[in-house]
Amino acid sequence: MYGKIKILICMLCFFLVSSAAIATAESPTPVKNILYIIADDLKASTIGCYGDEICQTPNIDRLAKEGVRFTRAYAQGTACAQSRPSLMFGRYTQARINTREHKSFPQLMKEQGWYSARVGKIFHMAVPNDVIHGTDGVDHPPSWTERFNCQGLEQDTPGAYACLNQNIFKTDLEDRAGIKHPDRMYVSVRMPKDTKDQPDQKAADKAIELLQAHKDEPFVLAVGFVRPHYPMVAPETYFAPYHWEDITMPERREGDWNDIPLQGIPKFTSKSKGLDRYPDNQRRMWADYYAAVSFMDEQLGKVLDELERLGLKESTAIVFTSDHGYHLGEHDFWQKSNLHEESQRVPLIIAAPGVAPGESDALAELTDIYPTVLDYAGVDVPDFCEGLSLRPVLENPDADIRDYAFSYHGGEKPIQFSLRGKRWAYMHYGPEIEELYDMDADPKQFTNLAKNAKYKEVLGELRGVLAKKRAAMKAKDQLASR
């Protein structure tokens, strides 16, 4: 009899433990708050947790240890004006967003009773224009309960000014390359001291203030830092660790452009912008970019520290990303606005309650932020959304949700498209005007295989995938217009 009772007790205990485990697995951890943070022009490869051994990014690295770091995340648009509305509305192209019918993710959450605030640059702002004037840029007012701009002097900040493509170094404030100046992309300013008046410092301070004020209610707080976007302005202490003499430029190869279609050569190159005349200044561009990244990272850390101090970490889903990548001399390309890897690949780190830290090589798009955030917030994802929730990957980093990430280049009528798979990178500029790279064998994209007959079958498959993607986008638009 005793043996039978013992067996029954063991079975009962097993049942109770198993039931609790199932309930835990099936019951999502409640997310009461969303903290969405986006940097501007931040290339993934310059961050410590993404492999850079020089740049100091302790706060991004810390967040990566607490969340899931996506190693293959891609922007859909190649510039701020295209990328930012795309990810905020979960739509592939800016031109296909109808703000009368489509709603951004903070707008939907606001309609559910959440407090919604923008601090800094979330939708498009012209930098330095809107920062200097303290204006909204191309914002979307229905998204926000409140919104706050973060004004700054930008290139006119007192300090050591450099215009690197013109080899100009000075401290006076006369004739600095600023709003609409063709050389503004190559400007940096080293402030003599930390004066607390930089836009990213103001953004961090305002974000902290809002966390304190709204800690007891559901909120979506969107914080947009403008660094490392030009002009690369920061206190001198952030430049000090980076010496241009120690910078090794990316690999260049003779005849690198010979197999790249003319349409694949961006307008910002070493030769077109004069940086080919000053090799040392190309290395200074790297050093100054690093300084701007570290400065932004410090402001991010302040916000994360306050979130933890207020006890909100266990109820908040955190998303950190950038609007697109950046070229710093790879292939003698500079800036963004092209379909190559450095311009399209972005950092993406997501930390959420109940999500174990990890790393995923699953292909992700910035459009996926929209449905992922709504998924964790318990808000239904609208049919117009073209992204996919990353929740399956966050709960199992070995999972995949797509075979290719889609991107495009252009404004109202984009005609250049790309697909990124785990092995293949494909760029389409027109009929048989293409680039194809084997990212396993050639991760730096030096050998275009599009004209190589050996890869005819691969090319045909990718053409088919792109055609289906574009057809699906058209069908979704037609369905929405009925």
pLDDT at position 479, please?
A: 65
For the CA atoms of the chain, what is the radius of gyration?
A: 24
Predicted confidence band of residue 478 (pLDDT cuts 50, 70, 90): confident
> What is the reported pLDDT for 23?
36
For residue 293, give Cα distances in angstroms to 58, 191, 298. 11, 15, 9
Q: What is the pLDDT of residue 481?
A: 56
Q: Which residues, at least 6 apart from 71, have a Cβ–Cβ distance to it below 8 Å?
A: 50, 359, 360, 361
Is pLDDT at 2 greater than 60 in this prediction? no
Q: Are 123 and 88 in contact (CB under 8 A)?
A: yes
Mean pLDDT (the chain, rounded): 93
pTM of the shown model: 0.93
pLDDT for residue 28: 53
Name beta bridge partners: 115. 219
Amino acid at 283: R
- CA angle 271/272/277 to nearest 5° reads 40
User: pLDDT at residue 270 above 90?
Assistant: yes
Q: From CA 160, how far away is CA 169, in angstroms rounded?
A: 7
- Amino acid at position 403, single letter: D
Class of domain 27-151+196-395: alpha beta
| pLDDT, tens only, 394-404 | 999 999 999 99
Identify the pLDDT of residue 392: 98
Looking at residue 480, its pLDDT comes to 56
Report the pLDDT value the prediction gives residue 477, as an integer from 0 to 100: 83
Question: Model confidence over 193-225: pLDDT tens digits?
Answer: 877 889 999 999 999 999 999 999 999 999 999
Structure tokens at 236: 């001198």
